[in-house]
Chains A and B, each alone.
Chain A
Amino acid sequence: MGMTVVQKILARAAGRASVEVGDVVEPAVDLAMSHENAALVINQFFEVYKGAGLEPRVWDPSRIAIIFDHRVPAESSKTANNQKKVREFVAQQGIAKFRDIRGDEGGICHQVLPESGWVRPGRVVVGTDSHTTTHGALGAFGFGIGATEMASVWALGVALNVEVPATIQVLVNGRLAGFVSPKDLVLHLIGRLTAQGANFKAIEYHGDTIRLMSTSGRLVLCNMAVEAGATSGIVPADSETLRYLREETGVRDEIEVVAPDPDAVYGQVVEIDASSLEPQVACPHAVDNVKPVAAVAGTRIDQVVIGSCTNGRLEDLAVAARILRGKKVARGVRVLVFPASWRVYRDAMNGGHLAALSDAGALIMNPGCGCCLGVHQGALGDGEVALSSTNRNFKGRMGNPKAEVYLCSPAVAAASAVTGVITDPRTLLNHQDTKTPRLAVVVTWW
């Protein structure tokens, strides 16, 4: 019987010829990623060795990545002490893939890993972060685990007792319209699958739309797969994957491409006509509460967030800058921009995108996750409404259970920043005075 990409990756990582859905395997881990929560992993790691009579050493320091991104620079002495503890462990164990708080490298883990060339097709990537699904964009099997499970990986080098998931094939064809992006596609998918529709399953993306999509866009699709509950989202590696790894990350060594068998068995097939999609918005307080932007257009907003591990890449900042260039953020609206990494920050600076955003009135923040999960910068006041290109809108998500968060693409976020209400970027002209130059740029993702 044919295998899906995830089955093939797990079979190889577990040293087996084949695996079937439901098999329990122990895949060797190629890359084990943590962020500030490495402080808890370290605690649990030492617990494992208590009374074992063995020296606590990680199985392979070259395969562990630790990226500070959730609260940078530290917002409290508690965090600063956690970060200090992690630095000491990194030095003690010789962990090389460590990104401290610096302006010349690092950023958000789910951008740093791909752009550093550390994620390869066919590999197993685990992370103490639910959005580790992101790395499936490069044809890897990436999935989120808890801190204690990571301590186990650090000790043994394998993920224990992994069940081979069934796979949902998502087949996307057709050309996305102007100002309709991969974010709109994945929000639509989550609305269809629901927040639990892919729980304990993998999502494998196929179709012409995916084949012609940049890696940047594929990262968005895989990042948000977990919002439908998926263990993993994956785009089987292809020529675009090779282009990205060779040209954008400088990988020189051999890259193995793993494709699904033609007779692979999928538990479910979801077909999407990309050409019929409109910009989408996920409404409070659930990521699967998805509506076309028209249904909520006109909703007043207090804060706009552009960036994050979902939509903080160069393409995202470029489209936001094109919309905001020469315009002003509406009075009473705060716009926070979080580039996904310092490399993206630098590229966006050199490309003039950050200047355009800043001139319009946006705040250019340092790369980081803090605002999205309400731990650092950009907290909301009671009754306030945020429109954000991030990935979650659960109650309390941006630091206040009495506030609301809507999720959207960078284009919808930028257009709405101008008007102060949720706005379809394609109708922005209607909100402008007649002296404003016509919005001539139509962005496509092909």
Chain B
Amino acid sequence: MAKVVLTLGDDVSTDDIYPGRFMATVLPSETPQYAFADHTAFNARLKAGQIPPGSVMVAGQNFGCGSSREQAASTLQGHELVVVARSFARIFLQNAINLGLKVVVAPGVEAAEGDELEVAAAAVVNHTSGKTFAVTPLPRARQAIIDAGGLIAYTRRRLMKEEPHL
């Protein structure tokens, strides 16, 4: 069970998640400070350590649209957030999976800030509202990378010929 710490609408762009003016910062160890920098209250709570790891963000459709900047995934991953969205933009989804950020596609999800959510493989249960939302499995091509522990590990195994082609 985890608390919903932020709810967002459709078409949240990577400029919103990680504003361009911080893009000179690239290393995953340094990006978390700028997560949702223009959502000043939320960013302050993150930086103050008031958002426990595993907390959930709930978004609408096309989360992570726009720029391919990987900082948008690493900045959320650094806080160990879980992103549940009705759908994700392609490049963001791939970056998230490559880096190990937990992303869940639940096309009908509804939640408010403060709700208690249980995020499982088949469904997202909102224990506050009592509603259950089906989860769309990630594409097979993406799941293989998650199973390997991320794209760096997956690529290393492929280089060493330990990972078979899909």
Contacts and interface: CB of A to CB of B under 8 A. Distances in A.
Contacts of A160: 145, 151, 154-155, 158
B155 A24 contact: no
B24 interface: yes
Contacts of B90: 199-200, 229, 231
Which of B20, B99, B154 has its CB near the most chain A CB atoms (within 10 A)? Answer: B20
A266 interface: no
Contacts of A374: 19-21
Interface residues of B, number: 48
A229 B11 CA distance: 10
Given A79-B24, A145-B94, A394-B15, A152 B155 contact: yes
Given A195-B62, A374-B21, A396-B20, A401 B38 contact: yes
A72 interface: no
B98 A148 contact: yes
A149 B151 contact: yes
Interface stretch (A39-47, A336-344, A346-354, A424-432): A39-47
Contacts, number: 159
B8 interface: no
Given A48-B155, A52-B156, A397 B15 contact: yes
B41 interface: no
B108 to A, nearest CB: 16
B154 A199 contact: no
B141 A146 contact: no
Given A78-B24, A156-B159, A396-B38, A148 B15 contact: no
B142 interface: yes
A51 B87 CA distance: 36
Interface in A69-109: 70-71, 75-76, 78-79, 82
B26 A161 contact: no
Contacts of B23: 37, 70, 373, 375
A54 interface: yes
Interface in B12-46: 13, 15-16, 19-21, 23-27, 38
Which of A24, A78, A149, A288 has its CB near the most chain B CB atoms (within 10 A)? Answer: A149
B24 A161 contact: no
B141 A162 contact: yes
B151 A199 contact: no
Nearest to A79: B24
B69 A37 contact: yes
A354 to B, nearest CB: 27
Interface string B143-166: 011000011101110111000011
Interface string A155-198: 11000111100000000000000000000000000000001100
A52 B165 CA distance: 18
B69 to A, nearest CB: 7
A258 interface: no
A146 to B, nearest CB: 4
Given A51-B156, A146-B69, A146-B73, 4 more contacts: A146-B94, A163-B139, A196-B61, A196-B62
13 contacts: A48-B152, A148-B98, A148-B99, A152-B155, A163-B141, A199-B65, A199-B87, A199-B89, A229-B89, A394-B15, A394-B16, A395-B38, A401-B19
Interface of B: 10-11, 13, 15-16, 19-21, 23-27, 38, 61-62, 65-70, 73, 87, 89-91, 94-95, 98-99, 139-142, 144-145, 150-152, 154-156, 158-160, 165-166
